[in-house]
Structure 1
Amino acid sequence: MLVLSWFQKFCCRFPSIQSKNLAYLMATYSEGKGKAKSSGVSLSVKEVKPKGMPPALTFYSVTLPKGLGKGDSFTFDVLAVFTHSLRPFPEKITQADIQLVIFQDSAHFLTPYVVKFQSLSIKLPDSRIESYTKLENTKLHGSEIKYGPFENLPSFSFSPIFVHFESNQPFAVAKELVREIEISHWGNVQVTEHYNLIHGGAESKGEFSRLDYQARPHLRGASAFRHLVAKLPPRAHSIYYRDEIGNISTSHLWSDSKKVGI
């Protein structure tokens, strides 16, 4: 009797509460050894819908470069980028308040396979943490929370966690972007971009005080927009910019061999 045991696809999945905010998903691996080792070789990733799986999960398959037999191993990296994963709480703050947000995830890697060993690290922008889920083997080191290590986790293990922490970075959200490109007969290319930007973090509560903004720097609104940065091609010239209410008077234009910045 001949028994073959091998597979050529790996399955990863996310709870639907996360997958709806998935902006980018990529799987890569390194091939070769020593100095000849190359990194960043892409693997094919696509969404799949296995039968009999709960609708609250979204599945993606990663195609491996070759089949794996019993005892074989293959190492690859999966990069997932999510947007709008941080929810401001409270949802409205005054001009003098700091911005607090909530992050939700699972301490266990959600997979249909049995996990022999796994750990999770959450690195925060600041060491001020209002609260966080405490499980067995949970450690806090400054601004980093470590869950695990966990061993011999059954398939589809899920352990919800939340972290409530300070994040005073502005949440720049482009609700609409229109790019107009005009090419002349002389080889010049004129690019005009129209942005409709909003702050996606906590909303302002109460009236804005210009006096406090100028006289009390610490009451300027920790998460407010103070500036915007644009990186343009190095040969960009004749640059202008304005907003809906008129010209922008405070700006700084600089350039180097690789880019032009505003």
Structure 2
Amino acid sequence: MDALAGLRLALVFTIVAHLSLLARSSSLAPQELQIINAERRIDLTSHIIKVFLTLKVENTGKSPASEVFLAFPPTQADRLAVVKAQAAVGKRKKKTYLPLDVTPTELPDAPNGTKYFSISLLNPLKTGETVTLEVLYILTHSLEPFPAEISQSESQLVYYRDGAIILSPYHIKQQTTFIKTPSTKVESFTRVEPMNRAGTELKYGPYDDHQPYSFSPIIVHFEINNPFAVVEELVREVEISHWGSLQITEHYKLAHAGARHKGVFSRVEYQSRPSFSGVSSFKHLLARLPPRIHSVYYRDGIGNISSSRLRTDSRKSELEIEPRYPLFGGWKATFVIGYGLPLQDFLFESPDGRRYLNFTFGCPLAETVVDKLTIKVVLPEGSKDPSAVVPFPVDQSLETSYSYLDVVGRTVVVLEKKNVVPEHNSPFQVYYKFNPIFMLAEPLMLVSAFFLCFMSYVAYLHIDLSIRK
């Protein structure tokens, strides 16, 4: 009864939050386009929610259209990590997909704080023409644990809130939504006919002829015991040495973002009944690292942690790490991973004479959300005119750091991004100018220091400091 009452209360709040949408939609709908068919597939098998949206769009206006708008309620817009789109060209086996630019945009008087993204078409869509768009967007922190606290022996239940009808500024002639859950253990779900359930999938629709900004809120209450691994903060330092090495140091603040653990933790029960005790906890993490790594270490505030396994081959390296204790909901852990890489695999020279680092953005831990990621690329001393090229928006800044034998300090390129998911693991480049003469600075300083010490010692041996005549 508690779960049912909570479901009803949550549904009431969702309906109230959307009541102003329909009243203000008529003046905002871009009437020159309509969606002939929309199919949405929502994957809830992980705490990183992936939504695949297929739209067949038709231009019913009198002028060509160069962009298509996607609409998101404010609760989802704040949790969007990735929005990608591509256009389907050709038919059946000859079909190809061309990536499209997607940018946040604003429309005047957006109803109820609706947020928009604009998809730029490759060619303007003429009157009567159609285009098929494939959209992927990823949501984080969108599963609400209910109950919020569970004991060691209980499974984890969560709410997912969305709409049976796709929020859109366009008229939709027909649409269908599929929701995939991790298992068949679904406590309850909102019914919006026509709908049916088969195994781990809920199907809403098909629904015909819905006006712009139509809505029908739904809530799914289901069991999910997959790890809710969230890195609250990750600082990755990439230090370039032109003497042949690349040193990586990663500082992690890890948390379990699922239902909080209540009661006393029993290590005996946890180890004796692994399939029932602490099923929503996790004690292993997999880090996918570049090939040819060396000098790998893994430690926390106490010291080195030996419970890790490293597998390497010519294409990749995998480091399986195990914290000192299993992580339950609300528990946290801090640790450091470090390793070295051959410089020639990642540092190159551009045609204009500049050098550039080609490395991977994002977090190497699999199925992990990073609330705040900071990448610091430490350039060799004497580097000038640094610039970074990243395939998505990030905050960029410059710092100066000092190491052994540094005189003027080393330039540090700082890249920051929030709400990072595995789809952000793509290459980025840092360009800079470097005069090879600076490579002799540290050896000359060492030689000079030894020479001065030697001359001081010789002078000391030959100087008579006695006061006798």
- Bin for the TM-score computed over the shorter chain: over 0.9
Alpha-carbon shift at residue 51 of structure 1 (Å): 1.2
Which of the residues 229, 237, 240 maps onto 2:286? 229
Separation in 1 of the partners of 2:271 and 2:92?
57
The unaligned stretches of length 5 or more in structure 2 are 1-60, 320-469
Alpha-carbon shift at residue 16 of structure 1 (Å): 0.4
Separation in 2 of the partners of 1:217 and 1:37?
47
What TM-score do the two structures reach when normalised by structure 2?
Answer: 0.53
Task: Specify the alignment match of 2:115 in structure 1.
Answer: 58
- In structure 2, the residue corresponding to 1:241 is in which secondary structure? strand
- In structure 1, the residue corresponding to 2:152 is in which secondary structure? coil
Structure 1 residues 217-260: Cα deviation after superposition (integer angstroms, max 9, x where no partner): 23430111120100110111121111223322322211233210
2:235 paired with 1:187: no
> Is contact 2:297-2:304 (8 Å) kept?
no
Task: Specify the alignment match of 2:208 in structure 1.
Answer: 151
Task: Specify the alignment match of 1:30 in structure 2.
Answer: 88
Q: Which has the larger displacement, 113-122 or 232-241?
A: 232-241
Task: Tell which has more relative contact order, 1 or 2 (C-alpha 8 A, sep 6+).
Answer: 1
- In structure 2, the residue corresponding to 1:96 is in which secondary structure? coil
Alpha-carbon shift at residue 36 of structure 1 (Å): 6.4
Separation in 1 of the partners of 2:77 and 2:142?
10
Alpha-carbon shift at residue 37 of structure 1 (Å): 4.8
Alpha-carbon shift at residue 34 of structure 1 (Å): 7.3
Structure 1 residues 16-64: Cα deviation after superposition (integer angstroms, max 9, x where no partner): 011110001111123356776532x221212222112214211111111
- In structure 2, the residue corresponding to 1:212 is in which secondary structure? helix
1:198 maps to a residue whose letter is A
Q: Which has the larger displacement, 6-15 or 29-38?
A: 29-38
2:301 maps to a residue whose letter is E
2:79 maps to a residue whose letter is N
1:23 maps to a residue whose letter is A
Structure 1 residues 91-115: Cα deviation after superposition (integer angstroms, max 9, x where no partner): 1100000001110000111111111
Task: Specify the alignment match of 2:452 in structure 1.
Answer: none
Separation in 2 of the partners of 1:220 and 1:256?
36
> Is contact 1:96-1:218 (8 Å) kept?
no
Structure 1 residues 127-169: Cα deviation after superposition (integer angstroms, max 9, x where no partner): 1000000111110101100000001111111110010000001
Root mean square deviation, CA, Å: 1.7
2:306 paired with 1:249: yes
- In structure 2, the residue corresponding to 1:238 is in which secondary structure? strand
- In structure 2, the residue corresponding to 1:121 is in which secondary structure? strand
Q: Which of these two proteins has the greater Rg computed from alpha carbons? A: 2
2:116 maps to a residue whose letter is F
Between the two proteins, the alignment pairs up a number of residues equal to: 259
- In structure 1, the residue corresponding to 2:244 is in which secondary structure? coil
Query: Going by fraction, where is helix more abundant, 1 or 2?
Result: 2
- In structure 1, the residue corresponding to 2:286 is in which secondary structure? coil
> Sequence identity of aligned pairs in percent?
47
The unaligned stretches of length 5 or more in structure 1 are none
- In structure 2, the residue corresponding to 1:211 is in which secondary structure? helix
Separation in 2 of the partners of 1:181 and 1:84?
29
Q: Which has the larger displacement, 6-15 or 48-57?
A: 48-57
Alignment map for 1:40-51 (pairs within 5 Å): 41-51=98-108
Separation in 2 of the partners of 1:246 and 1:223?
27
Task: Specify the alignment match of 2:227 in structure 1.
Answer: 170
Task: Specify the alignment match of 2:217 in structure 1.
Answer: 160
Alignment map for 1:1-262 (pairs within 5 Å): 4-31=62-89, 37-39=95-97, 41-262=98-319
Runs of 4+ in 1 over 3 A off after TM superposition: 30-38
Separation in 2 of the partners of 1:59 and 1:185?
45
> Is contact 1:175-1:198 (8 Å) kept?
yes
What TM-score do the two structures reach when normalised by structure 1?
Answer: 0.93
Separation in 2 of the partners of 1:55 and 1:221?
41
